[in-house]
Amino acid sequence: MNTLTSAYYKGPSAPLIDMTIGEKFERIVNANPEHPAIIMPHQNIRWTYAEFNREVDRLAAGLLHLGLSKGDRIGIWSPNRIEWVLTQFATAKIGAIMVCVNPAYRLFELEYALNKVGCKALITAKSFKSSFYLEMLQKLAPELANSVPGQLESETLPHLKTIIRMGDEETAGMFNFDKVLDMGTASDRDRLSGLTTTLSADDNINIQFTSGTTGTPKGATLTHKNILNNAYYTALTMRLTPEDRLCIPVPLYHCFGMVLGILVCMSVGATMVLPGEGFEPEQTLRVVAEERCTALHGVPTMFIAQLDLPNFSDFDVTPLRTGIIAGSTCPVDLMNRLIKDMELTEIVIGYGQTECSPINTMTAIDDSFEHRVSTVGRAHYNWEQKIIREDGSTANIGEQGEICSRGYGVMAGYWDEPERTKETIDAEGFLHSGDLGEMDAHGYVKVTGRIKDMIIRGGENIYPREVEEFLYTHPEISEAQVFGITHQKYGEEVCAWVQLKDGSTLSPDDIKAYCKGQITHFKIPSLVKIVDEFPMTVTGKMQKFVMRETMEKERGLQTF
């Protein structure tokens, strides 16, 4: 293993797939048409690749019949359903840009997203959990009540013309999904078959809204080449073959589900298994056992929820082999349990950003246990990675700085926001993550925090990760998140949210006393709050801005 002299590492080079998602899909279908493609027990779906492709083509022809075509933005607002997956491939085949709408969005967020990218059509579920999608749409666009389907004229949503709803019930101003499947004519099907030559691997095909901690969400715009290659080389790292069955309990609206789940399987002809509309630990384990899944994705909290089920031993998970943990490094205790109890001996860690399609760094199956629990791996196939100082120079080995990546997966840009794009992608093509990290002499990267999370207390720079690492040394602390909140005298003061292990009776004062004399006085949290859970994104990234806002609202009203 070569030893690096500075914090720059280039991953292995390999040929890129220079074709559209539709072209790759057709090749996979033709190679093994009767192989199981997709299994969704909650919708009684069990299709071969030939059957799956037939349904995709039905939807694609239906969308063409409705006047939708290359470059049009088509939103998908739904939990994990077959309609979601069909939309993903049908839009790719006609060259439309699929816009992933967060299933948890409410009125303000939905209006912003649809208008920001100018969605011409929206495919939507009826509801999910406490979100009643059709009611929200009717509130935003009351004109639907008197609108002919496909001819919406809305004052609030001026770009939106067509809404396609799932389910059998009929709603004024909307088409039904199943009926759209039957709309395609022979002419539409002929047009569909001829579209291949008009589409390019470099065409924009997907918009993902990033969940930034400040400001309005940005629409990261991704191409066929971006996400198809990311999926394929992730599958290669996992050693996935057509014989594998990947259980995908993570949400499809995010890159983790749609790229690292659906496209990963398609890229090698493996079987996609979606256990439910949303993550339920027991349902996921039951499907893993019943379908003999060999791979399982999730964030640390998902795996912990499954392992902690009282009836965990009732489920036969022995076929499991690999999968991806994304969002953060994997704690030592969890990795041990994944290997021992879930048979995930070849599980890998994935790191990246939506703007990178999303993976730019992964651990390898053959990496040491230490690398798998303390790092996020090394630059992936066809990626370069470096750690830079504030002045832009490359850091030394072991020196903390910003993680930057360059490769085929860097997004085309933020939709209609060239200035924000320039702030993220520099003149050399490196994407600046906003994450702090360090690289060892062999290229392995450790994520140490977020640049914006740095606390400045009385002129002293405090890196939250350093304080968190110390708190983890306490045997009764299972999770700790450290951040700064406003302080009149010092500018900021250190605050910690701490989750205790079962049976612990630690108090905030006990935790402060544990720090005294062990870490520098100004790094000791002046405010400690014991919590049962943390706000986080779907990929398991802690949302410290939510914690910060909560503490600043509560401060002075409660005693911590």
Give 454-554's CATH code, choosing from 3.30.300.30, 1.10.760.10, 2.20.28.120, 3.30.70.1050.
3.30.300.30
Say if residue 37's pLDDT is above 80.
yes
63 CB-contact burial (10 Å; exposed 0-12 / middle 13-18 / buried 19+): buried
87's enclosing H/E stretch is: helix 82-94
Say if residue 212's pLDDT is above 50.
no
Provide the edge-to-edge strand list for the sheet that holds 491-500: 477-487, 491-500, 527-530
Label residue 483 by pLDDT band (50, 70, 90).
very high
**List of residues 6+ apart from 27 with CB closer than 8 A:** none
Contact between 159 and 119 under an 8 Å Cβ cutoff? The reply is yes
Lowest mean pLDDT among 42-56, 224-238, 244-258, 532-546: 532-546
Contact between 506 and 476 under an 8 Å Cβ cutoff? The reply is yes
Start-to-end Cα distance in the chain: 49
Give per-residue pLDDT as tens, 437-457: 999 999 999 988 778 788 888
Q: Which two tokens stand for residue 505?
A: 């009776």
434 torsion bin: left (phi>0), alpha (psi -120 to 50), beta (else): left
Does domain 8-15+219-450 fall under CATH 3.40.50.12780? My reply is yes
Say if residue 215's pLDDT is above 60.
no
Report how far residue 85's alpha carbon sits from residue 263's, in angstroms, rounded to the nearest whole number. Answer: 10
Question: What residue type is assigned to position 111 of the chain?
Answer: E
Sign of the CA dihedral running 336, 337, 341, 347? negative
Distances (CA, A) of 519 to 24, 351, 401, 491: 55, 30, 22, 20
Lowest mean pLDDT among 67-76, 156-165, 300-309, 388-397: 300-309
Lowest mean pLDDT among 130-144, 241-255, 465-479: 465-479
Give per-residue pLDDT as tens, 157-194: 999 999 999 999 999 999 999 999 999 999 999 999 99
Report how far residue 113's alpha carbon sits from residue 62's, in angstroms, rounded to the nearest whole number. Answer: 24
Calculate mean pLDDT across residues 19-29.
Answer: 98
Calculate mean pLDDT across residues 86-94.
Answer: 98
- Considering only residues 65 and 468, tell me which one the structure prediction assigns the higher pLDDT: 65
Average pLDDT, the chain: 94
Strands 204-210 and 218-223 turn out to be antiparallel
Sign of the CA dihedral running 413, 417, 422, 423? negative
Per DSSP, 545 falls in state H
Give per-residue pLDDT as tens, 505-522: 999 999 999 998 888 788
405's enclosing H/E stretch is: strand 401-407
Give the up-direction half-sphere exposure of residue 105: CA atoms within 13 A in the CB hemisphere. Answer: 28
User: What pLDDT was estimated at residue 558?
Assistant: 42
Q: So where are the chain's domains? A: 8-15+219-450, 49-200, 454-554
Calculate mean pLDDT across residues 408-419.
Answer: 97
**CATH number of the domain located at residue range(s) 49-200 in this protein:** 3.40.50.980
- How open is the CA angle 115-119-124, to the nearest 5 degrees? 110
Strands 477-487 and 460-462 turn out to be unpaired
Classified as helix, coil or strand, 515 is: helix
Q: Which two tokens stand for residue 85?
A: 């997956």
Give per-residue pLDDT as tens, 94-103: 999 999 998 9
Q: Could you tell me where the DSSP H helices lie in 166-310? A: 177-181, 186-193, 224-238, 255-257, 264-268, 281-290, 300-307
Label residue 536 by pLDDT band (50, 70, 90).
confident
Report how far residue 508's alpha carbon sits from residue 7's, in angstroms, rounded to the nearest whole number. Answer: 39
Calculate mean pLDDT across residues 363-377.
Answer: 95
Fold agreement between 8-15+219-450 and 454-554: no
- The two most distant CA atoms of the chain are separated, in Å, by 78
Instruction: Please provide the DSSP assignment of 275-313 as one string.
Output: --SS--HHHHHHHHHHTT-SEE-B-HHHHHHHHT-TTGG
Calculate mean pLDDT across residues 238-253.
Answer: 97
Calculate mean pLDDT across residues 288-309.
Answer: 94
- Percentage with pLDDT > 70 across the chain: 97
